[in-house]
Amino acid sequence: MNRSMHERIRGNIESAIRAGDLRPGDRLPTEAELMREHGCSRMTVSKALSALVTSGLIDRRKRAGSFVARPRVHATVLDIPDLQHEVVRRGQEYRFDVVDRLVRCADRGSIEEAKFAGRGLLLSLEGVHVAQGLPLAFEKRLISLAAVPEAQTQPFDGISPGSWLLGHVPWTEAETRIAAVAADTEVATRLQLSAGTACLMIERGTWRGAIGITRVQQYFVGTSYDLVARFGPGDGRTT
């Protein structure tokens, strides 16, 4: 199917953002430059840019131009950790072991999951982050194949799903929930613990505009993970 001109312009810019050629904060070509490049009207360019704004990929600033959007995080501002990077940075050996993988429809009994999947399928992944030969974290992850179709063919044999997503898929919003939990039988088995051992559970969802990208639950041995936040007086921010 032939795409219209505004869809092609939008697709080209989105591909550049996905590939990292355009980074958060980078300024896009002006409307006049895009008109000359594609040989089209200002209305066509404006329609393409408006679609990118709606999807959360860019911001348009009056008299300044259009810029690749910077990630926004709800509630407490927390970085999305790249466990693989953190382990390697400490000079330790890292691997991610996939223990279960399934492409499936959203659970009909879960309104939240159905909304997340949209009209597409979900890639369900379970795996263990291993550092120095010992389990560091067990994760259960859903990836929307409507948002990230290329994830279906990614083996994740040399890179964890989280690291791959951070490097390949732009996101604009994230929501994080943290809870202390007792390891159930499955979590205890994966982390080589006794059932009931105290664990830290981090649940996170990321979106690009209104489009869900991934949802993950990560379970850490309570003594193996430090969560650090620094607060500035009166500014409501953390770093």
93 and 46 fall within a common domain: no
Residue 99: give its domain's CATH number.
3.40.1410.10
Question: What 3-state class would DSSP assign to 187?
Answer: helix
Which CATH number characterizes residue 12's domain? Answer: 1.10.10.10
Looking at the fold, whether 89 and 18 belong to one and the same domain comes out as no
pLDDT band, residue 233 (cuts 50/70/90)? low
Residue in the block written with tokens 């219209």: 4
Q: How far is residue 179's CA from residue 204's CA, in Å, rounded to a whole number?
A: 12
Strand 198-208 versus strand 173-182 pairing type: antiparallel
Question: H/E/C letters for each residue in 58-127?
Answer: EEEECCCEEEECCCEECCCCCCCCCHHHHHHHCCCCEEEEEEEEEEECCCCCCHHHHHHHCCCCEEEEEE
Please check whether residue 163 lies inside any domain of the structure: yes
Strand partners, 180: 200
140 shares a domain with 55 = no
pLDDT 10s digits, 176-185:
888 999 999 9
Cα separation, 50 vs 146, in Å, equals: 21
**Across-strand partners of 217?**
140, 203
Is the residue at 236 inside a domain? no
Give the domain-ending residue among 39, 54, 70: 70
Say if residue 117 is in the same domain as residue 52: no
Residue 238 within a domain: no
Q: Are 55 and 111 in the same domain?
A: no
What pLDDT is recorded for position 33?
94
Could you tell me if 80 and 63 lie in one domain? Answer: no
Which residues make Cβ contacts (< 8 Å) with residue 3, sequence separation at least 6?
Answer: 11
Non-local (6+) Cβ contacts of 19 within 8 A are none
Q: Are residues 54 and 151 in the same domain?
A: no
**Domain boundary, last residue among 70, 87, 114:** 70
Tokens 């500035």 found at = 232
Average pLDDT for 198-204 = 92
Number of domains the chain is built from: 2
3-state percent breakdown (helix, strand, coil) of the chain, nearest 5: 30, 30, 40
Is 71 or 61 the better-scoring residue by pLDDT? 61
Judge whether 143 lies within some domain.
yes
Residue 76, pLDDT above cutoff 70 = no
Please, are residues 179 and 62 in contact by the beta-carbon 8 Å criterion? no
Please give the Cα distance from 222 to 239 (Å, whole number). 22
Q: Are residues 152 and 65 in the same domain?
A: no
- Residues 49, 81, single domain; the answer is no
Token look-up 């360019």 returns: 45
Same domain as 178, residue 81: yes
Confidence of residue 1 (pLDDT cuts 50, 70, 90): very low
Q: Answer yes or no: is 186 within a domain.
A: yes
Are 90 and 40 in the same domain?
A: no
Query: What global pTM score does this model have?
Result: 0.67
Residue 231 is assigned to a structural domain of this protein: no
Same domain membership, residue 88 and residue 41: no
Query: What's the domain range around 46?
Result: 5-70
Region 27-51 average pLDDT:
93
